[in-house]
Structure 1
Amino acid sequence: MGIPINLSNQVELNDIKVDFAALKVRIDKVWYGVEAKQIALLKLLLNNYGQAISRDKIMQEIWPNVIVSDNSVSQLITQLRKTLHDEKDSPKFIKTVPRTGYQLIAKITTKKTDNSSVIRKSTLGIFMSIGLCLGLAISFTWHLLTKETPPKNNYDYQSRLTSVPGAEVFLRYSPNGRYLAFSQTASNRSQMDLVVFDAQSKALHSIKSSGYSEQAPVWSPDGKWLAYYRHNPISCTVRIMSVSTPVETWRLSPDFHMADCQPGFRRSKIHWPIQSTLYSTEWHQGAPKLVEITLDNKTYPKEKSRRLLNQYQPIEMDINAKQNMLIVQKNNQAFELSRVDLKTHSSEPLLESKQVFWGVNWDLQQTGFWIGNEALRHYKNFNNMNLVHQPVGFIADLAINPITGDVAHSEGMASVNLYDLTLQKFEKQINNNQLQLSSSARLDVLPAISDNGLQTAFVSYQRRGLDGFRYIEIWLKNKQKKTATVLANLPENITVSYLLWSPSGENLLVADTDHNIYLINTFSRKLVPIISGFKDLEQVLWSDNGREIYYNTKQPGQNWLQWAYDLQLASSYLKEEKISIAPITNLTLKDIKKLNPSFTLYRKSIHEFLAKNIDDFIILNALPSSLHLYRPAITDIGIYYVLQQGHKLFLYLYLFESRENIKINQLGFYEHDINVPLTVSSSKDAKYVVYSRVEGVEMDIILHKKKAEH
């Protein structure tokens, strides 16, 4: 019989602990994030413990009111087994029952305060022999006795510190806990200004408003200096100013050149853990790299030397005075949070998730940490999570007061819309003929235009609801029609990577980050899984007649193989063995034209090609971070790419034949990274362009006060 599980329960399956409320599992003393669909499936199996659950029942329970194929169940079971480190052939958690479904066979342990009891498979026979009524009574009593109390929230909402249009980010408390420095969007949204909140007087002070963009303030460990990035469209410097005088005079303080930095904006802050060393990030070989800057402190702190720590690729990080680093890095298709000792370079993985971790900060004890993003969470000793605050939108950044332990966080919302642009001539557009293609009610991303430019497909995300689930749809907009229509609903566990149209525009490929590929026919509007089960899969190409799909796969330690999927036969066959993948440095123009987003080195290849053919150093300096921000589009005549210059975004077109690099149009402003895929898509003839744009970024700073300990 089943075991009722409340979302606040933590249950052990064999040697793995499952936290249903936090959507995570603990394996070998490390907590890992788990997708909501996997947790829902595990809960369903647990609630029907001792019974085999049919595939139909799983589809009904996990995907209510959504049409999915039978293969979706297989994939979800495979993903859950992978999460639990379970083997299909010798299962310890989930058993396949032939012609019936799946059964949970793990040993289940729930803890009480005085002792723990274990429900084993043999117990079920005893329950059933006593009778159904007694079994239900025991099950209910068991649930009441073993229910764990959620961790106590030690923080109270205190107040909102800011309420102005735009974003407030890069929050940093001074060492004495009195001042909170941050960057704030200026009134014209074309720059960011430096602002300080004085907790003693409850006043806000505009410190720097130079016409440039001042970002990522950081205090010196002794509290005498404030350093920050100063960006303009073509350069970046780290500036420093004295803050030894009263705060009212800081705006008049002179600033000095402290160090150089790369143009382009990043989420990463500057880190100043000890008086003699700064840490920052730079882009190299298409990835962020950690930079260690040694300081000369004779007159004022300034750069003495620097070294690149290639082994670290921080998306976000926090470094304490002991030079212990919390670092978020991309690991295959997931994001990993790790603890690193920068003196010994030893590393320990802490959490893993398909969503990036924002607002990573050490706590006061330096043994746990804070994380933002979808909720404000405190992890004590790396495994005890306390949910402090659930925002309406998202939490982009946070800071911990080093004296009081109070938490200030930047909370906000944003929309991602699609725009289309029609070009009659490939030259700078005088008139702004950009038209909004999608609604602001959802996050609409990853647009893909058909070869003839008449159809645009895109992915639409509904913001995560109170049930913890997100809703994903593929939409279709025909250029001849006013409104878009839904093509397909996607299972919640799919994270879409790219869309690819067939040459005729009748079929659309949907690829996810787990190397699974689905097919949607625009007439039948059904989502059909066609390719799955490969560790590495890339270079997905339609045949010229649109009847086959070519793709390359590779298993660990093996050669690349080329396959073909036949749409009429609905099956794949091996096309060629032991193929070679051309290095990006040797790509010909023919190779470049064949690229699409399914190629792993898509952006790197385009960067390599443009760097060889463009001689404008201003563009070349901004190109690496810009290509990371926006995925470019390759057409028959050239490459569309977005260049970030200051806070402005410009659409460029590099023409293959004439080797011209044309600034086509300004697309808008870039305010802050909210971790959504931004892309450009174009028809083959380059006349029709669709791009995504983040807009309406609104954030406020919220203060949560730590409760007094009794």
Structure 2
Amino acid sequence: MESFSSEQMKYQFDDFELCLDSETLRRFGKRLNIEPQQFTLLLLLLEQRGEIVERDVIQQRVWVGRPVTDESIRAAVKKLRDLLGDDARTPKFIKTVPKQGYKWLLPVQVIRSNTATEHKPATKSLISILLALLVVVSLMMWFVQTESAVVKPTQLSVSNITELSGSEVFADYHSDTQRLVFLHRETKSSPQQIYIKDLTSNSLNRLTWDTQNYTNVYWSPDGTKLVYGAGNGIGYLHYIAEFDKLGDVIKTQTLNDKSLKNLFVIGWLKAQSGLLFAEQVKSTKQHSIYQYDLESKQLKTLSYPNVAGKGDYLARLSDDGAKLAILREVSKQKAALIIIDLKLGDEEANVMLPFAASKLVWYESTEIFLSSFNGQLAHYNLLSKKIEQDITLPANTHDVFASCGEHCLILRQHNGDFLDIKERPLQVTVEHNALFNGRIFNYAGAQDFPSYLNASADLVFAALNNKQFSIERINSHGKRFTLAEFNGANTLNALVASDDGNQLAGIISGRLFILNTQEAKTTQSLNFVTAALERVENPIWSADNRSIYVAHLKGNVPNIVKLNVFNGEREFVASGFLSFKPLDTDNAIGVDTSLTAWFLKKGEQGWQKQSKLAQLSSASPNRWRIKNNLLYFSRRVAREGEVCFVSLSSPFQDAVCEKMDDNQFRLNFDIHPKQQALLMVESLSAQSNIVRLTW
């Protein structure tokens, strides 16, 4: 009797799975490119997890005894860390033990499966087959009984819940009363108003009728109250409305509490005794989640993030009120899901997300759905402790607002055309009634980061079509070229052109890339010039178009570094600035961590602040520009965007400003090389509805 047996072995840790049989590494089920040397090193660390693996052991195993330097070993470990997304300063996976070696930190699950094939008498073969069938049937019964709340959909169905002319922009749903509350604006400049739709009777009612802008409206757990925010650009307050059984408002309450200033409501506590709040984003602080007791009027901090990013920006309670799910920006455009057991105070989960989610929704008590404005969707299973991306949202759907029952979600669907790139006269330089030969673009999918390339006024911008980002170029004759394409999960944070117009520098998820604008015949790959574990921001080209000034962040401390894009050499420039642009060898403009723009002079002690130019709203190079001794910058006043300028030679004069044509959302811009036009993002009055997604 001949027997052939083999053992399939896998190591599972965090979101990864290392398979020894196929020599593959997967994350979220997707295969990663791992080199043989990285595979062997990772396997060694996993096998000796919890113990210090000395350099001699690594040399024997990974290099098969060949002599190697300590630098080679450090380089191999760094490449493995880059692959796993680990940070040597705050390690999650691999810890460096000085003068000894390396230690694996995370728990590891070992999965073994044996397969055997034998030549046996027919009777035994029949028995084996029957036993196998019995096992299969048992497994199927077990699966049916323990099936997760979410199954992979075979067919998605989208149906409208609202169909008003204009845009529905936010919603909350109360499953017991089957009532939907949502925010709607008739045009892009109209104030957002509150509407309620009863899904049982199909009746639709408007609740507010004034000129205030209403935001963040949520049903109480019993469905008898609404909490919402409202403001007119000068002040912002929170309100609670109470309803009778017929749905009429019987009482309103204003939460006129100074402790709630600069906070926005994100939901209710389970017993309706209080509310959850998040902070309005400020660039210079860590943001937390708060609970507010309606009776005692006490505000209590629930979360204490300690990360390089802005911290906690959204949270939702589970239906039973026992757990709190939090979205946390750990670094620029990189988010994590945190789950806290409120009774025990324990952290149940802390997992990195495959994209920066903007919404989270509890699905029963074992699933959390996470979504983004770009149409990405994932769900986290509290039982398996895994994130899945097995549902692809239909085109132009995004922002999951609520669960509406088994295999049912409520979200927003747009017609896909809500932004465009616009060129119009710069009013401060072109007479108001003068003729101006402005170009009309009307490009589907046009999104953001419009920039002029050179004196001929060619331009580039970012576009989004079917969840795929692209960088587009338009020449002076209106011909359009696609320079590069990349996945929508990778968030573009900046896009700036060199002075000669031949190169672009951009930031995706904290990494700097370079793109040639002249190679328009074929789509290029992005050429990254910084490592995955580094975090840089706000690229600005040097005058010779060979180097880029970036803010290199370690923790929350920015240092300006000059990076040569041809040979990779780096030079420290200044500390404490988020953005930096030299004017000549002795003068520069710097934006500090308080977003103040300064005129700088170079002295023996380095770059020193000389005079304050303006208070900016962002350090992004797409939000401020230098043209002919003028500093242009954009800002938002109430719900309107403005572009302003101050003179570099007269810094104490007030800024001169003009409106950005009702632009409210994307304030990136550029100034024509001849200072006669403004290139900006235009908000369109497009149609959107609240829809039901079922499968």
Which TM-score bucket, shorter chain as reference? 0.5 to 0.7
Aligned equivalent of 2:410: 408
Match of residue 654, structure 2, among 660, 674, 680: 660
Aligned equivalent of 1:329: 328
Match of residue 462, structure 2, among 459, 475, 478: 459
Please show how residues 106-121 of structure 1 align to structure 2 within 5 Å: 116-117=113-114
Q: Matched residues in 1 for 2:176 and 2:182: separation?
A: 16
Q: Matched residues in 2 for 1:693 and 1:345: separation?
A: 46
Aligned equivalent of 1:62: none
Which structure 1 residue ranges, 5 or more long, are not aligned?
A: 1-10, 18-23, 28-32, 46-73, 93-108, 124-143, 298-302, 465-469, 615-619
Cα offset, 1:352, TM superposition: 2.7
Q: Matched residues in 2 for 1:254 and 1:607: separation?
A: 51
Cα offset, 1:637, TM superposition: 0.9
Cα offset, 1:386, TM superposition: 8.1
Aligned equivalent of 2:684: 695
Cα offset, 1:447, TM superposition: 2.0
> CA-to-partner distance for each residue in 1:156-183, whole Å, 9 max, x for gaps?
8584221123332432234743322221
Cα offset, 1:581, TM superposition: 0.5
Q: Between the two proteins, what is the percent identity of the paired residues?
A: 13
Aligned equivalent of 1:535: 534
Cα offset, 1:545, TM superposition: 3.2
SS of 1:315 mapped into structure 2:
strand
SS of 1:304 mapped into structure 2:
coil
Match of residue 517, structure 1, among 504, 513, 518: 513
Tell me which structure has the larger Cα radius of gyration: 2
Q: Matched residues in 1 for 2:230 and 2:156: separation?
A: 35
Q: Matched residues in 1 for 2:281 and 2:83: separation?
A: 33
Cα offset, 1:510, TM superposition: 3.6
Q: CA 1:554–1:348 in 2, change beyond 3 Å: closer, same or farther?
A: same
Q: CA 1:434–1:605 in 2, change beyond 3 Å: closer, same or farther?
A: farther
Aligned equivalent of 1:240: 240
Q: CA 1:116–1:396 in 2, change beyond 3 Å: closer, same or farther?
A: same
Aligned equivalent of 1:165: 165
> CA-to-partner distance for each residue in 1:345-392, whole Å, 9 max, x for gaps?
644545434532243112222x32123343665543243748567322
Match of residue 477, structure 1, among 474, 477, 480: 474
Q: Matched residues in 1 for 2:621 and 2:229: separation?
A: 19
Match of residue 637, structure 1, among 630, 633, 636: 630
Relative to structure 2, which stretch is displaced further, 330-339 or 516-525?
A: 516-525
Q: CA 1:572–1:391 in 2, change beyond 3 Å: closer, same or farther?
A: closer
Aligned equivalent of 1:49: none
> CA-to-partner distance for each residue in 1:389-425, whole Å, 9 max, x for gaps?
7322122232135x88954333334333211233263
Q: Matched residues in 1 for 2:643 and 2:425: separation?
A: 13
Whether the 8 Å CA contact 1:268–1:315 is kept in 2: the answer is no
Aligned length: 572
Whether the 8 Å CA contact 2:416–2:445 is kept in 1: the answer is no
Determine if the alignment matches structure 1 residue 442 to structure 2 residue 472. no
Q: Matched residues in 1 for 2:547 and 2:356: separation?
A: 35
Determine if the alignment matches structure 1 residue 604 to structure 2 residue 595. yes
Cα offset, 1:330, TM superposition: 1.6
SS of 2:359 mapped into structure 1:
coil
Q: Matched residues in 1 for 2:556 and 2:657: separation?
A: 45
Please show how residues 254-653 of structure 1 align to structure 2 within 5 Å: 255-259=252-256, 269-283=266-280, 285-286=282-283, 289-290=287-288, 292=290, 294-297=292-295, 304-306=297-299, 311-312=304-305, 313-320=311-318, 322=321, 324-333=323-332, 334-341=334-341, 346-353=346-353, 355-365=355-365, 367-373=366-372, 374=375, 378-381=379-382, 382-383=385-386, 385=388, 387=390, 390-401=393-404, 407-415=409-417, 416-423=419-426, 425=428, 438-450=441-453, 452=455, 454-464=457-467, 470=468, 472-478=469-475, 480-489=476-485, 495-520=491-516, 522=518, 529=527, 531-533=529-531, 535-537=534-536, 540-549=539-548, 562=561, 564-565=563-564, 570-573=566-569, 575=571, 580-582=574-576, 594=588, 604-606=595-597, 631-635=623-627, 636-646=629-639, 648-653=640-645
Q: Matched residues in 1 for 2:539 and 2:168: separation?
A: 41
Whether the 8 Å CA contact 2:264–2:278 is kept in 1: the answer is no
Report the residue type matching 1:369 in the other structure.
I
More helix by share: 1
Q: CA 1:202–1:428 in 2, change beyond 3 Å: closer, same or farther?
A: farther
Aligned equivalent of 2:42: none
Determine if the alignment matches structure 1 residue 193 to structure 2 residue 190. no
Q: CA 1:510–1:692 in 2, change beyond 3 Å: closer, same or farther?
A: same
Whether the 8 Å CA contact 1:231–1:264 is kept in 2: the answer is no
SS of 1:162 mapped into structure 2:
coil
Whether the 8 Å CA contact 1:212–1:230 is kept in 2: the answer is yes
Q: CA 1:343–1:634 in 2, change beyond 3 Å: closer, same or farther?
A: farther
Cα offset, 1:231, TM superposition: 2.2
> CA-to-partner distance for each residue in 1:679-702, whole Å, 9 max, x for gaps?
222357754432223435433222
Cα RMSD (Å) of the superposition?
5.6
Q: Matched residues in 2 for 1:523 and 1:440: separation?
A: 21
SS of 1:572 mapped into structure 2:
coil
SS of 1:152 mapped into structure 2:
coil
SS of 2:83 mapped into structure 1:
helix
> CA-to-partner distance for each residue in 1:20-57, whole Å, 9 max, x for gaps?
xxxx7569xxxxx9999x94665999xxxxxxxxxxxx
Whether the 8 Å CA contact 2:220–2:226 is kept in 1: the answer is yes
Q: Matched residues in 1 for 2:662 and 2:678: separation?
A: 15
Whether the 8 Å CA contact 2:421–2:681 is kept in 1: the answer is yes
Cα offset, 1:238, TM superposition: 1.0
> CA-to-partner distance for each residue in 1:76-101, whole Å, 9 max, x for gaps?
x96996138799xxxx9xxxxxxxxx
SS of 1:360 mapped into structure 2:
strand
SS of 1:82 mapped into structure 2:
helix
Report the residue type matching 2:657 in the other structure.
K
